[in-house]
Structures are given as structure tokens and as C-alpha cells.
Amino acid sequence: MAITIGIRSRVACDTILAAVAAAMIFFYGRIDPANEAFREWDLHTYFRMASAAPSLAPDVPVPFAYRIVGPYAVGLIPTSTANAFFIANLVLSLSFICLMYRFLRYLGLRQAFACVATVLYIFNKHFFGFTSWNYFHVDDVLANALFIVLFWSMLESRWSVFAIALLVGSATRETTFLMIPVGILYLLEERSLRREAGRFAGAIMPAILCAVAMRLLIHAAEGVALREAFAIHWTKITSVDRVFHILVNPFVPLTFVPLVFPGRTLAFFRDRTYLLLFFFLIAGTTLFGHNNERLLNPASIVFYPLVGFIMQDCVWPRKWMIGLILAGAFLSSFHWLVARYPLPSRAATIALSGGSTIVITAALASCRITDVMRSKPGGNKGRNASTE
């Protein structure tokens, strides 16, 4: 069926995405690093690292001392450090949006739905919103882009590209090493591990050697090592509230969309178990740090393609439902802190996000029930739900 949501060309999609991203970057605003409330935040460490470029900043604690690519590249931009961070973050953010859209197209989404799914990511205040607002986290944005490159090159068996991306990732953010177990599972699923084992090992070796070399050569100040971080944060799994902030809140208002269409969700993961592994490995990183929602950002590479396929295969041609999803996602982008024009309170954020989640979930569930009823013998088969 031809898709005519009003998006008929890649140029139109690029224009829409650039406009939406630029508008939302404006509305998300910019963090005030001088605010006393953010005195203990990581941004000050990244600021010191960038200010010292091209030299290494002294007394940088682990693990930040080994995340050198983003901050030191920013430090080479010939302007004030704060402006350099903003410029680098802006360029990386827009580049990531472009890359994400093309990756969704590569996975099989049609233009309109790849565009809509990317817009939904832009509306996520915890992901695109946070890294736009806290523009000092350039390593987060760069790592997300590297994850897409790693997945794409893995699916194409372009191990030289995979090796370069993982090497850069090893000096950007240590979470990129999660692609090693993901890659092994992918090769097992493709039944090509024996054939590709040598090339895969060769692709990951430069990154491993780089990580080891950095830890031997860079004299980091005392910080929180992985074992200590886990000892501090593992108790999150015993708290319903914290689990909510790991598995539910990051994807509001779309969190329950995959559960409404279990058949399509299972079909999506049936031959892509490596994506499910990646999702839960990313969720596991929250047991080593703060900012639960922000740490789930890389999982968007799994979540938004799934939502895109559900909209494409299960929701369309209900244009009103696509519009409702977009409207709810936009309303959920408003926040009491991460915003140029903040909401009056945290309660207002909860009301908008929670209300949007309930409305979208209920509307989709109603559509799903209607389709199931129509597909039953004797029912109205004007629209069969077989694509669910």
C-alpha cells in the first residue's frame, strides 16, 4: 500500500527532521553551569578536560579520564569552552538525527514511518532533550552515533568500519564495548560465527588494546571504579520506583506500545535477539551510575524502530492515531527542569507525561481490540489485523 502521509521524498523528510530538531533544541534550552544545583554534575569534569586541550587535564577521576575523544575534541574548537561544547553538541545532535533516520530506513521502515519514529525520538525529553539541554554531554551523543555505525557495519559485515567505530568508542564511552557480546550473539543467530570469528576478533582487538593502553598511560585521579559503582547502585533492582525510572519512564508516553501489539513485537525480535540483548545490557548500565533515564538513551536504537514498525504495520491507515501519538509525544517533551520554558513543577511534568501515556495506550488498545473483533469469523473483515 502506498504511504501518503504527506512525506513523499527523502528531501522532505530531511527538511522536516531538521526543522523539528532545531525547534526542539531551542525549546529544550541550555543548562546554566553556574547554577549551584548542578555543582556536582559531570559537566564540570568535561569542562575541565576541554579547557586543558590539547593537553590532558590533571586530576580527572575515573572513569571520566578515559573518555577523551569528546571533551578534548571540543577543546580544540577556537572559541570559548562553553560555546565550543554547544557548537559540537549541536552539530553532533543534528548529525545523529540524520543518521538515525537513515538507519531506520535501512532496517526496512518506509520513509514516512522512519521520519515519524525519528521525530518521536526528538520529542523524548530524557534522550534528545537531556543531551540538548545539558550540551556538555557530547560524549553521550557521539556514543549514540557510534552505536548506530557499529550496528550498521555489523549487519553489513564491514568489520573494518566496525573496528574503527569501536576504537573511537573505546575512548569515548566504555558502554560501546557492549557491542562485543551483542556481536557474538548476532553471529550465532546468523550461523556465521565460525566463518567470521577471525575477522570479528581482529575488529575488536584495537579497541581493547586502546582501552588497556589508556588505563596504563593516563594517570587518573581516584574515582568510582566499576566494582564500587555496582556496590552503590545495584540496589536499584530492589526498588519499584527505581525500576520504573529504568524501564518505564525513559520511553513515556510510548512505553506500553509494544505490549499492546505483542505479536508484532515478538516478530520484530524473533530474528533479532541480539537487539533484545543490547536493550537489556543498556538497561544494566544503570546499575553502575546515576541518571537512570539518560543512561537508557542508546536503547532508543532498539525501541524506536520497533515503534516505527508497529505504526507502519498495525496502526496505519489510522491517520488520527498517528497524529495522537505525535501530539502525546510532544506534550510529554515538556519538563520542569529540562526546558527553556519549564513547567511550574514536577507534578505538572508527571501529569502531562502520565496523561499522554494513558491516552495513547488506551487508544491503541481500543484499536487493537477492534481489529481482533473484526478478524473473528462473522465479524467485519473490512480491515484485518493480520499484520499485528
What does the pLDDT look like over 141-190, one tens digit per residue?
999 999 999 999 999 999 999 999 999 999 999 999 999 999 999 999 99
Q: How far apart are CA 221 and CA 87, in angstroms?
A: 29
Domain membership of residue 297 (yes or no) is yes
Q: How far apart are CA 78 and CA 33, in angstroms?
A: 20
Over 70: is that where the pLDDT of 339 sits? yes
Domain membership of residue 28 (yes or no) is yes
Grid cell listed for 313: 504495520
As beta bridge partners, residue 61 has: 221
Q: How far apart are CA 66 and CA 40, in angstroms?
A: 19
Grid cell listed for 244: 520504573
| Count of beta carbons in the 10 Å neighbourhood of residue 332 | 26
Domain membership of residue 383 (yes or no) is no
Q: How far apart are CA 108 and CA 114, in angstroms?
A: 9
67 touches 172 (CB < 8 A): yes
Domain membership of residue 382 (yes or no) is no
Domain membership of residue 385 (yes or no) is no
Over 80: is that where the pLDDT of 240 sits? yes
Q: Which of 264, 288, 90 is nearest to 178 (CA)?
A: 288
Provide the residue range defining the domain that includes 151: 10-375
In this prediction the pTM is: 0.93
Q: How far apart are CA 71 and CA 136, in angstroms?
A: 8
- How much is the average pLDDT of 218-246? 88
Domain membership of residue 56 (yes or no) is yes
What's the pLDDT tens digit per position in 54-87? 999 999 999 999 999 999 999 999 999 999 999 9
Helix (H) or strand (E) holding 101: helix 81-107
Domain membership of residue 354 (yes or no) is yes
Q: How far apart are CA 103 and CA 182, in angstroms?
A: 18
Question: For 327, what's the count of Cα atoms within 13 Å in the CB-facing half-sphere?
Answer: 10
Q: Which of 139, 197, 196 is nearest to 168 (CA)?
A: 139
Mean confidence (pLDDT) of the chain:
93
- pLDDT-based confidence at 379, cuts 50/70/90? low
Domain membership of residue 178 (yes or no) is yes
As beta bridge partners, residue 221 has: 61
Q: Which of 149, 184, 388, 170 is nearest to 278 (CA)?
A: 184
Number of domains in the chain: 1
Cα-based angle 85, 90, 94 (whole degrees, multiple of 5): 150
What angle do helix axes 273-284 and 262-270 make, rounded to 10 degrees?
100
Peptide bond into 250 cis (omega under 30): no
